Amino acid sequence: MAIVNTLKMFEAAKRDGFAVGAFNVNNMELLQGIIWAAKEQQAPLILQISRGARQYANMKYLRALIDVAAEEAPEIPIVIHLDHGDLDTALVCIDEGYTSVMYDGSKLPLAENIANTKKVCEHAHGKDPYVCVEAELGMLGGIEEDVVGVAEEDVMKFLTDPDEAEQFVKDTGCDSLAVAIGTSHGAYKFKHEPKLAFDRIDEIAAKIPDTPLVMHGSSSVPAEFVAAINKYAVLDQSNAELCRVAGESNWEQMPKTMGVPEEAIARAAKMAVCKVNIDTDLRLALTSSILRAWGESNDALWAWMQAGSEGKRPDFPFDPRKYLGPGREAVKAIVARKMQALGSAGKAKSVMG
């Protein structure tokens, strides 16, 4: 079992020019998809748990599942990380045995962000074994359950300031820093191909060369997942088959949207970015796969009816294993793809030393 903190992981990432993927876990299928990808790709892994995930699943369940995953993949270094923690949750998670926590004070006045981050660092760094702290400076866009950011048009106005970053790291002693470089959370990041501030990564890194940088909001929102959701998720069940057969698209669930292209995360991974956060793409993979399973069964039923309802009526997949099984395979595939893009595939050994 190799549950570790981020120190050696980021050291290797910096040395070898890759970034570690940090993937959000809310349930067993997501975790299995992620760990199976890490094992297949021999990639170091950060499992991150948000406050929402802790509430949804109960941390005791998640921790037990993670321990089993770590036993299943003893050669993979795994970090258990709190995603977007507030002060109380960060302190609790440090005591609960997380090996890394994020304290997100980015929406607070700077002095308060510094004071709280410092408190978290003092508590975390006093632990044996050492617990790592990720802090955040600058503001991302997008909205998730517990994470509200700035509007899309304002994202570029709130990039992390390099001088402020230097002072912040000095004052707080944080181990890594999440920076705003133009990305945002969730599925609705950009209406057009985004322009990320790569030069800002270099400017920040020049001021804090020893601090690994973290990139949040890094999902690419793959078009094939959006298309599958729009094809199979229907607002009006009674019209669904008619619309589909007629090729009508006025019942789309997800409007046009774009994420961070995988070439962009690959580029950042070769720079000072050592951790890349991905949640939305896993949600989309799982959900589109479930909808496809249900939609294909509707198609089969439609075809059977069109053919005169002869023979055995196609079954609807109400057994959860029939749709969650393909769902976790879809999660595994997208996570494996990210590990390749980030260059972390094959790097588990170089972290373990």
Catalytic residues: 83
Collapse the DSSP code of 133 into the 3-class scheme (helix H, G, I; strand E, B; otherwise coil) and give the result.
Answer: strand
The residues near 223 (Cβ < 8 Å, ≥ 6 apart) are: none
Collapse the DSSP code of 292 into the 3-class scheme (helix H, G, I; strand E, B; otherwise coil) and give the result.
Answer: helix
Using CB under 6 A as the binding rule, whether residue 219 contacts ligand 13P is answered as: yes
Using the contact rule CB under 5 A, the part of the chain among 164-172, 270-278, 282-290, 326-334 near Zn ion is 270-278
We find the least distance from the C-beta atom of residue 216 to ligand G3H, in angstroms, to be 6
Using CB under 6 A as the binding rule, whether residue 21 contacts ligand 13P is answered as: no
Q: Letter for the amino acid at 64?
A: A
Strand bridging mode 273-278 / 213-215? parallel
What span, in angstroms and rounded, lies between the C-alpha atoms of 70 and 305?
48
We find the least distance from the C-beta atom of residue 273 to ligand 13P, in angstroms, to be 13
∠ CA 128-129-135, nearest 5°, is 105
Q: Restricting to residues 288-347, which ones interact with ligand 13P according to CB under 6 A?
A: none
The answer to whether 94 and 82 have CB atoms below 8 angstroms apart is no
Q: Which does 52 bind (CB under 5 to 8 A by kind): Zn ion, ligand G3H, ligand 13P, none?
A: ligand G3H
Nearer to Zn ion, 14 or 216 (CB): 216
Nearer to ligand G3H, 83 or 175 (CB): 83
Nearer to ligand G3H, 53 or 165 (CB): 53
Q: Which does 278 bind (CB under 5 to 8 A by kind): ligand G3H, Zn ion, ligand 13P, none?
A: ligand 13P
3-state secondary structure 208-269: CCCCCEEECCCCCCCHHHHHHHHHHCCCCHHHHHHHHHHCCCCCCCCCCCECCCHHHHHHHH
Nearer to ligand 13P, 161 or 279 (CB): 279
Strand bridging mode 273-278 / 45-50? unpaired
The answer to whether 184 and 140 have CB atoms below 8 angstroms apart is yes
Collapse the DSSP code of 277 into the 3-class scheme (helix H, G, I; strand E, B; otherwise coil) and give the result.
Answer: strand
We find the least distance from the C-beta atom of residue 167 to Zn ion, in angstroms, to be 23
DSSP type of residue 182: S
What span, in angstroms and rounded, lies between the C-alpha atoms of 270 and 205?
12
Residues 39, 51, 81, 216: which binds ligand 13P (CB under 6 A)?
216
Using CB under 6 A as the binding rule, whether residue 160 contacts ligand 13P is answered as: no
Nearer to ligand G3H, 284 or 293 (CB): 284
- Take residue 277 and report the two structure tokens written for it: 């956060």
Q: Which does 218 bind (CB under 5 to 8 A by kind): ligand G3H, ligand 13P, Zn ion, none?
A: ligand 13P
Residues 14, 51, 54, 185: which binds ligand 13P (CB under 6 A)?
185
Nearer to ligand G3H, 25 or 73 (CB): 25
* Site of interaction with ligand G3H (CB under 6 A): 24, 50, 52-53, 83-84, 144-147, 185, 279
Q: How far is CA 237 from the centre of its chain?
A: 31
Residues 6, 89, 218, 289: which binds ligand 13P (CB under 6 A)?
218
Residues 105, 182, 212, 217: which binds ligand 13P (CB under 6 A)?
217
Residue ranges that bind Zn ion, judged by CB under 5 A: 216, 277
